Amino acid sequence: MDKVKRLTERIWYTDADERTDRPVLGYVSGDMASLMVDAGNSRQHAAILTDGVVAKGLAYPRYVAITHWHWDHCYGLSGIGAVSVASLETNLKLIEMSEWEWTDRAMSRRIETGEDILFCDENIRKEYPDRSLIDVKTADIVFDGLLQIDLGGVTCILMKLPNSHSEDSVVAYVPEEKVVFLGDITSEDFHNGTGSHHREKLGMLIEALEWMDFELALHGHDEPRSKEYVLDYLREELELLGEIL
Ligand SMILES: [Zn+2]
């Protein structure tokens, strides 16, 4: 079955797979270079996208951009022969995680200290029956706030936005295709014990997305959605927190 799906003229993606919490991977095809959005949770995961695009006669990605530091979006980096790009904050976490040990003891200790959460721990164990294969890489290019990459006929703008899910999160916005890759930026905060949205940050994220000109959004663990769908969901979440727009 063809796992790489076409979204628009220049954009392809693979679906999320909840069995080991694999997120959506994206691909933007430029005339000069192409860019992969998120590296996936393992080499095997990344290869579904990279092998899939090459099989279609598309170029192997020159760049791979990471939306945020959570393992499922970046542990595939070691299997991708592309220039990796991440925000300053994301890269600091990559540096930290590159020194993590993967013994049972080290893993359960990180759950106790709150450095990691049980949901990720369980899925890492499923994705990596042999955890000695985990190889966390840091980024080749690090940016602060915003980075625009011209791929030839199409651009990708990596942009840090306020959000509840993870401080370091960026979206990958492709204005020519009116598409935005959200990573998990519209999700709740699961790493700081709350599992909910933060009212102020959510309000600012809604404003930013309202302003952005896009038609389709790809969340890391969902199917493609319209701008209206995403904003309706976020406004509902905000109302639940007691704020009326
Ligand atoms: Zn996440």
Let me know if residue 40 belongs to a domain: yes
Identify the CATH number of the domain in which residue 223 sits.
3.60.15.10
228: pLDDT strictly greater than 90: yes
184: pLDDT strictly greater than 60: yes
Residue 135, SS3 per DSSP = coil
244: pLDDT strictly greater than 70: no
Tell me the average pLDDT across 186-194.
Answer: 86
Let me know if residue 206 belongs to a domain: yes
**The tokens of 41 are what?**
């949770």
Let me know if residue 46 belongs to a domain: yes
243: pLDDT strictly greater than 60: no
Query: How far is the C-alpha of 36 from the C-alpha of 66, rounded, in Å?
Result: 9
Q: For residue 108, how far is its CA from the centre of ligand 1 (angstroms)?
A: 20
> 30 φ, ψ to 5°?
-100, 170
Percent of the chain having pLDDT more than 70?
98
Q: pLDDT tier at 197 (50, 70, 90 boundaries)?
A: very high
Q: Which of 197, 202, 174, 171 is nearest to 184 (CA)?
A: 171
Residue 85, C-beta contacts closer than 8 angstroms, at least 6 positions apart: 63, 64, 65, 66, 139, 140, 141, 142, 143, 147, 149, 158
Q: For residue 68, how far is its CA from the centre of ligand 1 (angstroms)?
A: 7
116: pLDDT strictly greater than 60: yes
Q: For residue 155, how far is its CA from the centre of ligand 1 (angstroms)?
A: 24
- For 168-183, what is each residue's pLDDT tens digit? 999 999 999 999 999 9
Q: pLDDT tier at 99 (50, 70, 90 boundaries)?
A: very high
Q: For residue 34, how far is its CA from the centre of ligand 1 (angstroms)?
A: 24
Q: From the CB of residue 31, how many other CB atoms can be counted at a distance below 10 Å?
A: 12
DSSP single-letter state for residue 56: T
Tally of structural domains, the chain: 1
Let me know if residue 51 belongs to a domain: yes
Q: For residue 188, how far is its CA from the centre of ligand 1 (angstroms)?
A: 9
**The tokens of 29 are what?**
């095809």
Q: Which of 161, 212, 174 is nearest to 63 (CA)?
A: 174
Q: For residue 153, how far is its CA from the centre of ligand 1 (angstroms)?
A: 30
Query: How far is the C-alpha of 212 from the C-alpha of 215, rounded, in Å?
Result: 10
Range of the domain at 184: 4-240
Let me know if residue 101 belongs to a domain: yes
Q: For residue 23, how far is its CA from the centre of ligand 1 (angstroms)?
A: 9
Q: For residue 86, how far is its CA from the centre of ligand 1 (angstroms)?
A: 14
127: pLDDT strictly greater than 70: yes
DSSP single-letter state for residue 21: T
Q: For residue 70, how far is its CA from the centre of ligand 1 (angstroms)?
A: 5
Q: For residue 132, how far is its CA from the centre of ligand 1 (angstroms)?
A: 23
Q: How far is CA 63 from its chain centroid?
A: 14
Query: How far is the C-alpha of 218 from the C-alpha of 146, rounded, in Å?
Result: 19
Q: Which of 150, 159, 129 is nearest to 35 (CA)?
A: 150
- For 26-67, what is each residue's pLDDT tens digit? 999 999 999 999 999 999 999 999 999 999 999 999 999 999
Let me know if residue 245 belongs to a domain: no
